[in-house]
Amino acid sequence: MARRPSTPQVVFTHVAIVLVTLAALYPVLWVLKMAFSPGQAFSMDLSPIPTAVTLDNFRDVVGTTDSQGSWLFGRQLLNSLVISVATSVVGLSLSTTAAYALSRWNFPGREQGMGAFLVTQMFPGVVMAIPLYLLLDLFGLLDSLTGLVLVYATTSVPFSVWTLKGYFDTIPVALEEAATIDGASRWMTFTQIVLPLARPALAVTGLFSFMTAWNEFILAATLMGDQRSFTLPVVLQHYVNDHQTEWGHFAAGAVLVSLPVMALFFALQRHFVEGLTAGGVKG
């Protein structure tokens, strides 16, 4: 029978957990303080509680307009949503079939292909910025949401393939064999049996693809030059310039950018944990 921890051990453990939690939350509270505080100055007060509360920074950020008076922030928010959702859809469409083939068939070059997918994850996005810029310029896709979606989707495919392949390995082949005996085609087996069973893995890979596209800055800043085609991370960068930093607007924008990802994460957290643990097997 395991020995129960002593009272001092329990107290020390709880105090340590509380301190670590406060240390993790302190930067978040600091950002919230700057977002809700009036003015654009950087506060040197260590307290994360604002002395005055206002929504002016949020109004300024959300109410941004262009030179023609159009609602610029709404357009930029729509850009981020369209790009992130399209990246998830295109990336999942390409990676599910590739991962299923790598999981079910043993063909020449299979292991080398998986290794090549893994190698591509070793290089940061800035390495690909110049080649991608030249390619998109050649095809007339600069300042285009379509071009950015293609870039993000292709970079998310390797991770998605690895995650989905590991999850497909956990689905018994006997289920597909039984469906084949009953007259189901390979496509019916894949779409009506394998994909429904792989819903947790699809959720986690889709969420990662969405988050990657939503938060990415370097490629978006390089490939987009028109402010009407900016995504939200590029918008935030423009509050920081050589002469001054609009800390209040930057913090308010950071809070607004974080809200959709937080909502998605909490909505899909059950699938998120299940998909990561079930897909973490040796393939």
Q: Of 110, 215, 91, 101, which is closest to residue 155 (Cα–Cα)?
A: 91
For residue 139, the domain's CATH number is 1.10.3720.10
Q: Mean pLDDT across the stretch 257-266?
A: 85
Question: Rounded to an integer, what distance in angstroms lies between the CA atom of residue 100 and that of residue 178?
Answer: 18
Q: Which domain holds residue 249?
A: 70-279
Regarding whether 264 and 197 lie in a shared domain, the answer is yes
43-50 CB contacts, 8 Å cutoff, 24+ apart: none
Question: Rounded to an integer, what distance in angstroms lies between the CA atom of residue 267 and that of residue 270?
Answer: 8
Regarding whether 95 and 15 lie in a shared domain, the answer is no
48-57, 170-179, 267-276: range with lowest mean pLDDT: 267-276
By percentage, how much of the chain surpasses pLDDT 90? 20
pTM value > 0.85: no
Regarding whether 151 and 16 lie in a shared domain, the answer is no
Regarding whether 274 and 165 lie in a shared domain, the answer is yes
Do you know the residue count of the chain?
Answer: 283
Regarding whether 100 and 40 lie in a shared domain, the answer is no
Regarding whether 143 and 257 lie in a shared domain, the answer is yes
Q: What is the pLDDT of residue 149?
A: 92
Alpha helices, DSSP H only, in 105-246?
A: 110-120, 129-138, 145-170, 173-181, 186-189, 195-197, 199-215, 218-223, 232-237
Number of domains in the chain: 2
Residue 59 lies in a domain: no
3-7, 184-188, 267-271: range with lowest mean pLDDT: 267-271
Q: What is the pLDDT of residue 167?
A: 86
Question: Rounded to an integer, what distance in angstroms lies between the CA atom of residue 229 and that of residue 220?
Answer: 9
Regarding whether 175 and 44 lie in a shared domain, the answer is no
Regarding whether 227 and 117 lie in a shared domain, the answer is yes
Residue 64 lies in a domain: no
pLDDT digit string, tens, across residues 119-172: 877 777 778 888 888 989 998 888 889 999 999 988 888 888 888 888 888 888
Regarding whether 18 and 132 lie in a shared domain, the answer is no
| Mean of the per-residue pLDDT values of the chain | 85
pLDDT digit string, tens, across residues 8-57: 888 889 999 999 998 888 888 888 998 898 888 777 777 788 888 889 99
Regarding whether 81 and 29 lie in a shared domain, the answer is no
What is the residue whose two structure tokens read 């790009």?
83
Residue 62 lies in a domain: no
Regarding whether 44 and 170 lie in a shared domain, the answer is no
